[in-house]
A and B are shown apart, each in its own frame.
Chain A
Amino acid sequence: MTTRPGLSREWLRKNMTTVGPIVFVIAVEVVFQMINPFFLKYQGIISLIYSMSYFLVAACGLTFVIMTGSFDFSVPSLLKLSALLCVLYIEDLGLWVIPLALLVCVGFGFINGLFLAKFNVPSFMATLGVSIVVEGIARYLSKGFLQIMDDKAFRSLSTTFIAGLPSVFYWGMGIWLISIFLALRTPFGRRTYAVGGNLIGAALSDTNVARHRIYVFMLSGFLSGLAGVLYMAQMGGGSVEMGADMAIPLFASVVAGGTALTGGVGGPHRTLLGVIIITWIQAGMNMLAIGRDIQMLTFGLIAIGMSIATIDRKRKIIK
């Protein structure tokens, strides 16, 4: 039998969601490198890292939620709220503002999870509602002004250079590695896949499904908050308008990595590729002065395209 061509095609089909993003990343890199030779020079790399690292932190949290088959719309608004809390209250609280911001975000994550797990509100709706509430709070607190962060200690969180790279890079990578570890090597991760893969099966094991879902949303809230802290530290200021167009790229980056919206498939290890694809395209387009309009269009298409590629069509999706 001539199985070889069939086998390799089979292999490619099975691993398409892994091979695809890698090929895509290389293609993106080559194209931008050709257009702009500075893309991967030191300065280019630094700017890429700045746009990528905090993003990766938030995306890791979202990945866990999507792995359970739910969705968290509140990530960008929690990120914003956390950033604003830091800049508004740093003078009063000093660096204690960081745990405060994180705690608030975890709290909203808890509320998200509670709506889903206890009241059976679909997570799309619950988190969208919460994100709008959070948006309102952010608007109220900041009163729409541009806020400047001038606390040196706070800013050094993201901007200290270690071995030639800003510290936010190590934060991002650290969180990413911890997320991978959590997803692949701990009972917590196994349960996350289980809840997304087969809800009834998970409920019939010794998993407390309701509590686990709440935990996952709390984790997502925590990482959104942390991303907000890092974002504020690297940007040094912002208004309530920041992060407004972060939502679509963020969602796109998780699915672009290969975590299916159906849940139970993918994981944070894949999200790095998705984040690279999205943030590099974003950075490349910025360098080429391509407008927001075309950028949004591109990310939307990537998100939809990757959803089609990764979704487990044997199962229902609406959750």
Chain B
Amino acid sequence: MDDSLLAVKGVSKTFGGVVHALDDISLAARRNEIVGIVGENGAGKSTLMKILVGVYPPDKGELYHKGEKVPFPRDPKEAAKRGISIVYQEKGVIPWLKVYQFLFLGHEDKYVKFSKLQTDKMKKQAADILEELHVKCDAEVFMHELPLSTQKMVEIARAILSVRLESGEDGTTPIIILDEPTGPLNDEERRELFSDLLEMKKNASFFFISHIIPEVREFTDRVHVLRDGKLVANYDFSEEKIEEEDLFRAIVGRESSEYISKVEIKGLASKTVALTAKDLTKKGHYYDITFDLHEGECVGIFGPAGSGKSQIIRTIAGIMSFEKGELVVNGQKLKASELPYVRLKKGIGYFSGETGKELFLNWPILKNISFVNMQKILGKFMPVINFNAERKMAQRIVQLLRIRTPSVNTDCYSLSGGNKQKVSVGKWVERKPDILLLDDPTIGIDVGAREDIYEVLSEMKKSGICMILVSDDPKEYSILCDRIMFVMDGRIQKVLSPDEFRKVVGI
């Protein structure tokens, strides 16, 4: 720890005294290095970083700055005084500000003279710092005119600037936390960003949070792997050669691998085709996507973030439109710009694991379940909701999915994440669409709830419902899918069997 710039020791954090978000974490950043922090959703990456910038206080732990013990910051301003600043994943940029205005946002009070803003001084300083940090842009253009990667760089420059302005001395090396900075970028922009970052390393240290393994391996000096709030592995790329597979294994862990072999469906070739995609294209997102989906089959669309997999599934759901190609469901050709409700009528249901996206949080469970199953609970003679039938339907689903709740009248707000997700799945179990699209169905929920959901989805598969899966979790593909299409840069590269897939990702 002697040469470390910033170090944390034994940091723990629990939420509500139950969930161990962080358990005894110790790590450090040295001068001029990029430290990768990787892990699944909910592994604790963001919590750790929020503790560093003073958003949350830790329950336990110590913070060292240049070897000296210091208290944890209580707010972002205090963190900036110690040299720590963060660039958030998104929503960081204000498009209608000019670059120099954005750079000094929140620090204008330091540039006021006779109650007038000294814009010339700001512009000059902005140009200086942009040059110093090798950000290639004009200080007087609007943010939205810049390419995404440059916008990110300006954000990083702003973080470094805020450290300098707050700490007051030039000697402090800024420690910048980058929270999944490459999310919205395409491959070229990514490479651009990284070559700029390597330049910036001369002036700062970085914590680089990501779940995209190749970029972490390529651009960071060291990497810490978090899983379920624990530090499970540390790798130093200067000392050892680390394969992507090693990282993958460390991130994903092996806990529920025994589940993998539970579900298998054979003999699909003889089944009828439910959905056909032919040369589906939307420029800038995906190109020439062609595949068949058979009755009772689950096809996975796998690929790194930004590969176009989410766009493909959202196109089939009707959230996005396609430009070229053909989409045929049950022999019926679909229009390119149909909305989700039309697709649902034709038998395509869309289930997203994003909390609150399709769930009505202020509604009780029973209304959530009945909402897409309205036809089943209407009276015989009049289109009037039969409350009794509605309650019975919900009770059946609650039992089937083992949803933990005092009653079906409980508002979904008060359910845990896993149980919320089960309610979302439950309504599709009842609806039984011909095709169910799964968009990250178990994102951010615990293993127990996951397995319950997998079990129900497998049951649905057996009954002939076919599915398309997109997920951030490779395990999920090997559990649910019969075929996995590997997508990169918007094109299908390879179609893998589950066994081949497991070998490729190493699980």
Contacts and interface: CB of A to CB of B under 8 A. Distances in A.
Interface of A: 185-187, 190, 193-194, 197-198, 200-201, 203-209, 264-265, 312
Interface string B319-336: 100000000000000000
B374 A201 contact: no
Given A187-B385, A190-B385, A205-B372, A200 B357 contact: yes
A198 B339 CA distance: 17
Given A200-B358, A201-B358, A204-B350, A186 B385 contact: yes
B358 A190 contact: no
B384 interface: yes
B378 interface: yes
Nearest to A184: B385
B340 interface: yes
A315 to B, nearest CB: 9
A206 B359 CA distance: 14
What range describes how many residues of B lie at the interface? Answer: 20 to 34
Among B360, B361, B378, B383, find the residue whose CB has the most chain A CB atoms closer than 10 A.
B360
Given A186-B383, A186-B384, A187-B378, A201 B340 contact: no
B344 A206 contact: yes
A81 B360 CA distance: 38
A123 to B, nearest CB: 20
Contacts of A194: 360, 371
B344 to A, nearest CB: 5
A118 to B, nearest CB: 13
B208 to A, nearest CB: 32
A186 B387 CA distance: 11
B320 to A, nearest CB: 13
B359 A198 contact: yes
Contacts of B363: 193, 197
A201 B385 CA distance: 20
Contact of B384 (A185, A200, A207, A265): A185
18 contacts: A186-B384, A187-B383, A190-B371, A193-B363, A197-B360, A198-B358, A201-B359, A201-B360, A204-B357, A204-B358, A205-B340, A205-B341, A205-B372, A206-B344, A206-B345, A206-B372, A265-B362, A312-B362
Contacts of A187: 374, 378, 383, 385
Nearest to A265: B362
B383 A198 contact: no
B356 interface: yes
B367 interface: yes
B371 A205 contact: yes
A197 B319 CA distance: 19
A16 to B, nearest CB: 15
A185 B319 CA distance: 29
A206 B374 CA distance: 9
A107 B313 CA distance: 39
Given A200-B357, A265-B362, A208 B383 contact: no
A205 B424 CA distance: 11
B375 to A, nearest CB: 9
B436 to A, nearest CB: 13
A298 B359 CA distance: 39
Among A193, A205, A264, find the residue whose CB has the most chain B CB atoms closer than 10 A.
A205
Contact of B344 (A185, A201, A205, A264): A205
Nearest to A211: B341
A198 B361 contact: yes
Contacts of A206: 341, 344-345, 372, 374
A208 B385 contact: no
Contacts of B344: 205-206
Interface in B352-392: 352, 356-363, 367, 371-372, 374, 378, 383-385
Contacts of A201: 357-360
Nearest to B363: A197
B341 A207 contact: yes
B312 to A, nearest CB: 17
A197 B361 CA distance: 8
A203 B340 contact: yes
Contacts of B341: 203, 205-209
Contacts of B367: 190
A200 B341 CA distance: 11
Contact of A197 (B362, B372, B385): B362
Sorted nearest first, the 3 A-B pairs with minimum C-beta distance are A201-B358, A206-B344, A204-B358
A280 B493 CA distance: 72
Nearest to B357: A200
Contacts of A185: 384-385
Contact of A204 (B340, B378, B383): B340
